[in-house]
């Protein structure tokens, strides 16, 4: 695939639920169409924001099929697929139909707290068996381990099928180190909405965004203007959205963005345990900020 199609704004999609916990595909379709009409660049189902940790295998397959069907080639689809059991993950690769999947976003192995060499070998084996390009995902606040810039760069140079990283450590200095030393066609993607603009200014390639579920048009335009070097226009949009971007994470993700979407009438606020919807005070705060 043309990696330029993965520059810009990817949406870390929520998975809408009914009150009884079933997936709400009617609201899901409205969300997907709104994101695409808002000119986002690609869709990312089954990530952290999609509550993949509490979806069954059958539900994951249903979400994958649904998103690719609705997208219908209008935008690329990057499938979230990661885990802390390398062998099980390889089996998942064998069991997955990649005919309509453009790339995979794979979170660094969590809980086991692997060494840097363990992370390297995990990704090397995964990428060798993955039929589509692989984007690494470093999110130490969730995984309990932090990929060093050196390991990211080693994977970028050594493994042809690894084409980028979603860097969500919040460390801009680390992001700059990767940008400075990465292969020319390796993508550095922000994993934090509020850092998307500064990371692009440093030479990054875009963002995989939670906030774009709610405001796809404004957010993707901000990213587009920044990538085009129009930073005055990008900054205006960035600061317009900044406080609300912060606020949706006060009670955790995706509870915050689902609360925001419920206020907008787009979908319900329901999440699956052990997550809970945002508090009433946070919901009131989001409503006032809207």
CA angle 171, 173, 177 (to 5 degrees): 120
Radius of gyration of the chain (CA): 18
Give residue-wise pLDDT tens across range 34-75: 999 999 999 999 999 999 999 999 999 999 999 999 999 999
174 is an active site residue? no
Is residue 258 annotated as a catalytic residue, yes or no? no
- Separation CA 254–CA 138 (nearest Å): 18
Q: Which of 166, 182, 215, 258 is catalytic?
A: 166
The percent of residues in the chain predicted with pLDDT above 90, rounded, is 98
Report how far Cα 156 is from the mean position of its chain's Cα atoms.
19
The mean pLDDT of 21-38, rounded to a whole number, is: 98
Tokens of 153: 């760069």
Which CATH architecture does the domain made up of 3-229 adopt? Alpha-Beta Barrel (3.20)
pLDDT recorded at residue 3: 84
pLDDT of residue 1: 74
For the stretch 76-107, pLDDT in tens is 999 999 999 999 999 999 999 999 999 999 99
Mean pLDDT (the chain, rounded): 97
**How much is the pTM?**
0.97
- Verify cis geometry, omega within 30 degrees of 0, for the bond prior to 88: no
pLDDT at residue 134 greater than cutoff 90? yes
Catalytic residue among 42, 120, 123, 137: 137
């Amino acid at each position: 695939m043309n990696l330029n199609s993965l520059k810009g704004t990817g949406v870390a999609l929520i998975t809408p639920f009914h009150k009884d916990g079933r997936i709400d595909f009617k609201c899901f379709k409205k969300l997907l169409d709104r994101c695409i009409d808002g000119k986002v660049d690609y869709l990312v189902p089954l990530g952290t924001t999609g509550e993949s940790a509490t979806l069954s295998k059958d539900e994951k397959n249903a979400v994958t099929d649904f998103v690719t069907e609705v997208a219908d080639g209008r935008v690329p689809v990057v499938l979230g697929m990661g885990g802390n059991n390398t062998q099980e993950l390889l089996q998942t690769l064998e069991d997955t139909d990649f005919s309509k999947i453009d790339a995979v976003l794979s979170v660094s192995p969590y809980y086991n707290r692997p060494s840097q060499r363990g992370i390297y070998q995990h990704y090397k084996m995964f990428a060798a068996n993955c039929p589509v390009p692989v984007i690494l995902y470093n999110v130490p606040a969730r995984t309990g381990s932090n990929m060093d810039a050196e390991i990211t760069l080693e994977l970028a140079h050594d493994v042809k099928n690894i084409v980028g990283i979603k860097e969500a450590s919040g460390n801009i200095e680390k992001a700059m180190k990767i940008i400075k030393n990465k292969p020319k066609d390796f993508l550095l993607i922000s994993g934090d909405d509020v850092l998307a603009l500064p990371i692009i200014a440093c030479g990054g390639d875009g963002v995989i965004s939670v906030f774009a579920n709610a405001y796809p048009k404004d957010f993707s335009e901000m990213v587009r203007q920044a990538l085009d070097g129009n930073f005055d226009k990008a900054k205006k949009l960035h600061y317009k959205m900044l406080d609300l971007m912060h606020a949706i994470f006060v009670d955790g993700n995706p509870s915050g963005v689902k609360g925001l979407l419920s206020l907008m009438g787009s979908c319900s606020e329901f999440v699956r345990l052990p997550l809970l919807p945002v508090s009433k005070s946070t919901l009131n705060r989001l409503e006032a900020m809207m």
